[in-house]
Structure 1
Amino acid sequence: MSIEVGSVLDGVVSGITNFGAFIELPEGKTGLVHISEVADEYVKDVHDFLAEKDKVKVKVVAIDEKGKIGLSIKQLQEKKAEESTEAPARERSSFRAPRNNFGGRDFRKPNRATSASFEDKLSKFLKDSDERLTDLRRKTDSKRGGRGSRRD
């Protein structure tokens, strides 16, 4: 099977860096899954989603003139989510959900009950800004001799 843009391949994670994961593909070639293409959510550390020697399905998204192969796991995950609503899942991927080190509570989603609305935040900002400008004017006016006092 030749490696072409758009093809779906099986691969093995051969290395993980802070910017992505290298995947060993058939025919002895290696491609890179950039950190932005690992999952459909924010990925701070690739190790939370992949480990070396994991078997993964990847989609070829780019091949540049130097022969570098750009891969994506995220694009396949979106398709699998669509397929799972249509038909039962036939095959499970080795994709792992991120580990939660916060005692089960998810800190990525804001609590709607305690978060203020945009209008509340805006009015608080305007009030604070007005108070700071008033304080600044008082301090600078006193250094200049007050308002309306001109020297001849």
Structure 2
Amino acid sequence: GASVYSASEFAAKEFPDLDVSIRGAVSIARRLQDPLAELVKIEPKAIGVGQYQHDVDQFKLARALDAKVEDCVNAVGVDVNTASAALLTRVSGLSSTIAQNIVVYRDANGAFRSRKELLKVPRLGDKTFEQCAGFLRIADGDQPLDASSVHPEAYPVVERILKQCGREVKQLIGDASLLRSLKAEQFIDETFGVPTVRDILKELEKPGRDPRPEFKAARFADGVEDIKDLREGMILEGVVSNVAAFGAFVDIGVHQDGLIHISALSDKYVKDPREVVKAGDIVKVKVLEVDVPRKRIALTRRLDDTAPAPRGDRDDRNASRGNAPRGGRDGGRDARGGGFNAARANTPPPMNNALAAAFAKAKKS
């Protein structure tokens, strides 16, 4: 995603004098500050939304992703005094032209002091204002309610609440005990029903609250920075990077994702890995096997699973039991020049996974 942004026209306008690589670095740093505000600057498809994203109808995919991005932006809300044109464009009712006009007006006249001032922006009329006003926030403005998600059309409802409580807006906002004691039925009218009034009361408790959960990051183990640092039996924390039909890939901080086979995702039967994990989940895993030459890492979420015996130990055990390759008379198919057993012997052993370990455990019992 960062490379897509750095080569975009938007990035060229923001940083005309910076090299493409520096633009990408700035974008990555900004994502730590406010991911949503930065990610809206690129097409959502560029982020990577699954292994099959190129196999579906691209028009329908783009439309669905754009709608989801707009839903996220509207749910969080946008500070009109700090937002970029790219972020404002994602607000319901605002086109790219109007979003740019807002930025130009803000640069020329200073910060907006109220939502009503938005009506002075060129091409932002009453209908557009009606659509976008509830999603735009103005912190420390003339009207405290402008920092909340309460739409200006619903301000009369708040005024009725203030009249009954005998409070000022600033005194009412945040007073959870008082707000919860009020009955929504007392403030309804022909325009605003009980559900809307309840939403207003809830918003007044914590105006402008961010619906996004607290950001959590996986704690990668100290000293484990490369696949060569991994040891079987290690218990690590990682982040699910992708989910496929056969299992989940997990970033454990060694520049090579490990695989949790579907059979190792849970102690219970799992039909679809997506029922158990999703991209971004923080999980605790155990290292079952590491194949450094092939850069493969087998992981399990079942921390009681034991790592399979090394290849050499398995061969020694087979030899001690007297196991020998089976063939027909005079070596059977093997004698005729590399039949089934010879082909199997020349085939590299498959990567052991939790299913193989569980099967071996069941055989022993």
TM range (shorter): 0.3 to 0.5
- The structure with more radius of gyration: 2
Q: Which structure shows the bigger proportion of residues in strand conformation?
A: 1
